[in-house]
């Protein structure tokens, strides 16, 4: 089957329609990736064991260790197929990995050591190190890079639009002026804060045997400090060991990651909605690709499809992230199997995030500010300076300034520059105050942004 046919027949749009945006996740969340990460853990654990004082390892040479590491370094699809075939026979995915590595030891003439593969471990010692590593690596190598691109794009927009004054809208109505750049800066800072929070969450793994107490390890070699061994092993592979645990990792910090990702998504949804609205009122315009079609019926349409696509994918991701965060930390007694099938879906919301980020970054590159419309809106909304006027009048101890301005401006569609200045000239205040008030305009009433 050709790739194009495969993509056309894929059930999930992640692997079908959007495969060009998500294919790199196959290195982290495919069945092949899971198997490869499991092989990595088993091999690294054996190497770590070989560095202890266990007598049998005295005859294991450095060249032997290099050969053992090559089992992972040279791991390929054909190896994964062999493991899947073993799994069909024994109906156990992790045990199939163990048997595969034992076969490799036979080929390397290292059979005398093969019973120390998976020594003292349970499946979750492999899964609860492999899966957190998969998540960590995917975040470091894919999602974090997308965040950096997005932040860079937002920063460029801020720099370009930081001096473009515009009418803000609260409750959908004209309100105190702001600058377009500052409104993008709001999202940039919110994102940076949440990304910083995300990066502080530890990458935890579980490593402690069938009930979390390293029972089998201490039974076999009671003089070895297996707790210290396990701590160092997980640290060496890039994880922080959770302890104490049951048979499985409690997933609390992984759940924190999912909640944090959801908050980032929520900020991005908020931004997509705002940009969509700015486009709808012509504050923003989209660069036109003459070859593209906006509507099957209306030839004139240039729709904000990138932002709508991003919004939809972020919402899908959030529903799945919240489910993962609520389900994974819950397991009956010392363990049940429900986390197994659920954890296989971690790559799904991350893929939707990747699709959304690509669409959002692409959309941001295509927007431009429509200063003509923005300036018209500023000139038609002189009522917004009433806030400044009544506040300065309060400073001058004029009685009831808010009520006076309310009577003048609320619901009055005829308020303009002329009527505001006539009102100011009729105020019982010093000439210096009138001069100060007459300098006010929607374009310059920008607070601390005037000199930004």
Tell me the pLDDT tens digit for each residue of 256-270: 999 999 999 999 999
Q: Mean pLDDT over all residues of the chain? A: 93
CA pair distance 182, 188, nearest whole angstrom:
10
Q: Is the pLDDT of residue 293 over 50?
A: no
Name 283's bridge partners: none
pLDDT at 1: 52
Numbers of helices and strands, H then E, in the chain: 21, 6
pLDDT-derived band at 296, boundaries 50, 70, 90? very low
| CATH architecture assigned to 3-119 | Orthogonal Bundle (1.10)
pLDDT-derived band at 295, boundaries 50, 70, 90? very low
Q: Is the pLDDT of residue 4 over 80?
A: no
pLDDT at 302: 59
Q: Is the pLDDT of residue 5 over 80?
A: no
pLDDT at 339: 87
pLDDT at 9: 81
CA pair distance 249, 222, nearest whole angstrom:
24
Stretch among 17-31, 55-69, 110-124, 397-411 having the lowest mean pLDDT? 397-411
pLDDT at 298: 42
Separation of CA 158 from chain center: 22
Q: Which CATH class is domain 124-202+247-292+299-370?
A: mainly alpha
Cα-only R_g, the chain: 31
- Rounded percentage of the chain residues whose pLDDT exceeds 70: 95
Domain ranges of the chain: 3-119, 124-202+247-292+299-370, 381-449
Name 204's bridge partners: 240
Per DSSP, the residues of 117-155 read TTTT--HHHHHHHHHHHHHHHHIIIIIHHHHHHHHHHHH
pLDDT at 381: 94
CA pair distance 166, 282, nearest whole angstrom:
12
Region 440-446: what's the mean pLDDT?
Answer: 95
Per DSSP, the residues of 321-373 read HHHHHHHTT--STT--SHHHHHHTTTHHHHHHHHHHHHHHHHHHHTEEE-HHH
Of residues 4, 59, 171, 296, which has the active-site annotation?
Answer: 171
The SS3 call for residue 214 is coil
| Site of tokens 């490593």 | 207
Please confirm whether the linkage preceding 244 is cis (ω < 30° from 0).
yes
Of residues 12, 70, 111, 295, which has the active-site annotation?
Answer: 295
CA pair distance 217, 228, nearest whole angstrom:
12
Q: Is the pLDDT of residue 449 over 80?
A: no
Report pLDDT digits (tens) over 318-364. 999 999 999 999 999 999 888 899 999 999 999 999 999 999 999 99
CA pair distance 178, 447, nearest whole angstrom:
8
pLDDT-derived band at 184, boundaries 50, 70, 90? very high
Q: 240-241 and 173-179: which strand pairing?
A: unpaired
The SS3 call for residue 224 is coil
pLDDT at 3: 64
Domain 381-449 has CATH 1.10.40.30: yes
pLDDT at 450: 55
Same fold, 3-119 and 381-449: no
Report pLDDT digits (tens) over 42-53. 999 999 999 999
The SS3 call for residue 28 is helix
Residue 4 falls in the annotated catalytic set: no
pLDDT-derived band at 297, boundaries 50, 70, 90? very low
pLDDT at 46: 98
CA pair distance 325, 317, nearest whole angstrom:
12
More confident residue, 286 or 197: 197
The SS3 call for residue 204 is strand
Find the angle CA(300)-CA(301)-CA(303) to the nearest 5 degrees: 160
Name the CA dihedral angle for 312, 315, 317, 323, rounded to a multiple of 10 degrees: -150
Report pLDDT digits (tens) over 53-87. 999 999 999 999 999 999 999 999 999 999 999 99
The pair of structure tokens assigned to 337 is: 């199997």
Taking alpha carbons only, the member of 333, 241, 314 closest to residue 272 is 314
The pair of structure tokens assigned to 380 is: 């038609």
Report pLDDT digits (tens) over 299-328. 344 578 899 999 999 999 999 999 999 999
CA pair distance 233, 51, nearest whole angstrom:
11
Separation of CA 161 from chain center: 26
Separation of CA 278 from chain center: 24
| Site of tokens 């590595």 | 101
Residue 300 falls in the annotated catalytic set: no
């Amino acid at each position: 089957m050709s790739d194009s046919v495969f993509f056309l027949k894929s059930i999930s749009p992640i692997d079908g329609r959007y495969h060009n945006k998500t294919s790199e996740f196959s290195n982290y969340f495919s069945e092949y990736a899971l198997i490869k990460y499991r092989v990595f853990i088993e091999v690294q654990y054996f190497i770590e064991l070989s560095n202890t004082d266990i007598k049998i390892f005295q005859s294991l040479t450095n060249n032997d260790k290099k050969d053992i590491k090559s089992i992972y370094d040279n791991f390929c699809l054909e190896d994964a197929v062999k493991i899947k075939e073993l799994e069909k026979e024994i109906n156990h995915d992790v045990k199939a990995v163990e048997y595969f590595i034992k076969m490799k030891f036979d080929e390397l003439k290292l059979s005398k050591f093969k019973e120390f593969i998976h020594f003292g471990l349970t499946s979750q010692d492999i899964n609860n190190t492999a899966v957190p590593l998969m998540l960590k690596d995917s975040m470091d190598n894919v999602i974090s890079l997308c965040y950096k691109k997005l932040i860079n794009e937002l920063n460029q927009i801020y720099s370009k639009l930081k001096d473009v004054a515009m009418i803000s809208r609260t409750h959908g109505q004209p309100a105190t002026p702001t600058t377009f750049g500052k409104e993008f800066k709001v999202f940039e800072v919110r994102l940076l804060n949440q990304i910083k929070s995300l990066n502080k969450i530890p990458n935890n793994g579980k490593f402690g045997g069938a009930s979390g107490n390293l029972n089998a390890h201490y039974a076999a070699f009671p003089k070895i400090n297996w707790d210290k061994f396990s701590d160092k092993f997980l640290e060496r592979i890039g994880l922080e060991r959770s302890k104490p645990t049951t048979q499985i990792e409690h997933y609390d910090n992984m759940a924190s990651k999912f909640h944090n990702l959801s908050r980032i998504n929520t900020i991005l949804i908020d931004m997509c909605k705002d940009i969509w609205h700015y486009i709808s009122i012509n504050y923003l315009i989209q660069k036109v690709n003459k070859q593209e079609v906006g509507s099957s019926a209306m030839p004139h349409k240039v729709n904000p499809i990138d932002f709508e696509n991003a919004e939809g994918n972020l919402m899908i991701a959030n529903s799945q992230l919240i489910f993962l965060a609520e389900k994974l930390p819950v397991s009956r007694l010392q363990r049940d199997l429900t986390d197994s099938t659920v954890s296989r879906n971690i790559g799904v919301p991350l893929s939707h995030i990747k699709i959304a980020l690509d669409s959002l970054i692409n959309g941001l590159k295509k927007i431009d500010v429509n200063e003509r419309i923005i300036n018209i809106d500023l000139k038609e909304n002189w009522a917004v300076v009433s806030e400044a006027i009544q506040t300065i009048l309060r400073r001058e101890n004029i009685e009831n300034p808010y009520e006076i301005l309310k009577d003048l401006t609320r619901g009055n569609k005829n308020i303009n520059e002329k009527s505001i200045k006539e009102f100011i000239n009729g105020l019982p205040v010093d000439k210096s105050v009138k001069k100060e008030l007459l300098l006010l305009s929607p374009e310059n009433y920008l607070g601390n942004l005037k000199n930004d």
